[in-house]
């Protein structure tokens, strides 16, 4: 690894090409996506071909490990390996959504810690550093033996809600569960709003039972904050409880990553939510785009600034504020 490449080159796999293109546009200076082909052979094996020189360059590989998770992960690993063998000066894995992040500890005997395994794979493939956003658990940064910059999507939501509710005294931030309290508290402090908590008991994976509302949400406009939405059961259940038990006037939810698997889109459409806001770390499907309650905010400008700061060897910590 070198401390500073001779120029910036950005490549991407097939997981979120629109985001990679938007990052290039934000950086400007005529920067375009690197010339590469990423596909699969007839038997399903992934392949990568790089069609331009990367020798001595500061290379950034943009790839969310969203569905199909394993294909996207393998594309990233193979591309990193190809760039390493092509003598790239420094390789940064830009992973807007880090899959397997929920498997960060053993919850019962003989469980794997898959997040650690994926961290090892990215490192051994040849990445010199990782740039990601809103890891499900902050300690995952410690799974890597290379530098990790974990950007905060809440900065974008703070800007959005300051425009929507700035100066209002009838808005409350709500954590959808006890595990998200720290994230929601920091978000509420930045907005200057009070905090409430939905206390729930999880019976099994992807299912939860709402038990109680801690805090005052009666006749309030509520902002539910989470890091990701998968099947949507927990979030929609929390929204229902806030309206029916807590007496909230309206509920808007926001989350960095819209995984939206299984019945998630239908649940959101039929839920008590007035609006569901995601960042575009994961590209929306056609079904998602048809849902009138779901809205996306762009993150390309945040990643573009982080990439420029990494290339110029200046502090990235400003972006964590």
Q: What angle do CA 231, 199, 212 make, to 5 degrees?
A: 115
Residue 1 has pLDDT above 60, yes or no: no
**What's the pLDDT band for 179 if we cut at 50, 70, 90?**
confident
The pTM is what?
0.93
Q: Is 108 a catalytic residue?
A: no
DSSP 245: T
User: What does DSSP assign to residue 224?
Assistant: E
pLDDT band at 114 (very low <50, low <70, confident <90, very high): very high
The reported pLDDT for the residue numbered 266 is: 95
What residues contact 177, with CB distance under 8 A and at least 6 apart?
197, 198, 199, 200, 208, 234, 238
Distances in whole angstroms, Cα of residue 135 to Cα of each of 111, 132, 153, 318 = 20, 7, 10, 18
- Residue range 154-297 forms a domain whose CATH class is alpha beta
- CATH among 3.40.47.10, 3.40.50.2020, 3.20.20.70, 3.10.620.30 for 8-151+300-320: 3.40.50.2020
Catalytic residue among 190, 200, 204, 218: 200
Report pLDDT for 201.
Answer: 65
Nearest to 187 by CA among 215, 155, 147, 233: 155
- Comparing 48 with 234, the larger pLDDT belongs to 48
Element (H, E) at 286: helix 286-289
Which of these, 303, 291, 246, lies nearest to 265 by C-alpha position?
291
- Tell me: the pLDDT tens digits for 145-171? 999 999 999 999 999 999 999 878 899
Cβ atoms of residues 159 and 124 within 8 Å: no
pLDDT of residue 321: 64
Among 31-35, 86-90, 235-239, which is the least confidently predicted range? 235-239
Share of the chain above pLDDT 70, in %: 95
According to CATH, where is 3.40.50.2020 located in the chain? 8-151+300-320, 154-297
The overall average pLDDT reported for the chain is 93
* Model confidence pLDDT, tens digit, residues 252-302: 999 999 999 999 999 999 999 999 999 999 999 999 999 999 999 999 999
pLDDT at 317 over 80: yes
State the pLDDT at residue 208. 52
CA distance 294 to 235: 13
> Count of H helices and E strands in the chain?
9, 14
């Amino acid at each position: 690894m070198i401390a500073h490449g001779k120029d910036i080159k950005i490549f991407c796999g097939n997981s979120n090409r629109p985001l990679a293109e938007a990052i290039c546009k934000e950086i400007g200076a005529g920067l375009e996506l690197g010339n590469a082909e990423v596909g699969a052979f007839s038997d399903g094996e992934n392949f990568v071909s790089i069609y331009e020189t990367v020798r001595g360059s500061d290379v950034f590989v943009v790839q969310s490990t969203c569905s199909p998770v394993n294909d996207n992960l393998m594309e990233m690993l193979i591309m990193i390996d190809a760039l390493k063998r092509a003598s790239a000066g420094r390789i940064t894995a830009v992973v807007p959504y880090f899959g397997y992040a929920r498997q960060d500890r053993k919850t019962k005997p003989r469980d794997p810690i898959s997040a650690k395994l994926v961290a090892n794979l990215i490192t051994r493939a040849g990445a010199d550093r990782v740039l990601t956003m809103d890891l499900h658990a902050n300690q995952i940064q410690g799974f890597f033996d290379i530098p990790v910059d974990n950007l905060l999507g809440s900065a974008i939501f703070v800007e959005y809600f300051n425009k929507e509710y700035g100066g209002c005294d009838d808005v409350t931030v709500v954590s959808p569960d006890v595990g998200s309290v720290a994230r929601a508290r920091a978000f509420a402090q930045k907005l200057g709003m009070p905090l409430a908590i939905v206390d729930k008991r999880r019976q099994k994976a992807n299912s939860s039972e709402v038990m109680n509302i801690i805090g005052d949400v009666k006749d309030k406009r509520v902002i539910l904050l989470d890091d990701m939405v998968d099947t949507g059961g927990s979030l929609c259940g929390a929204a229902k409880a806030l309206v029916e038990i807590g007496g909230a006037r309206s509920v808007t939810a926001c989350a960095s990553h819209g995984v939206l698997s299984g019945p998630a889109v239908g649940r959101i459409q039929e839920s008590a939510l007035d609006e569901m806001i995601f960042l575009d770390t994961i590209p929306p499907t056609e079904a998602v785009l048809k849902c009138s309650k779901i809205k996306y905010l762009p993150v390309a400008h945040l990643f573009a600034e982080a990439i420029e700061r990494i290339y110029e060897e200046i502090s990235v910590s400003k972006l964590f504020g």
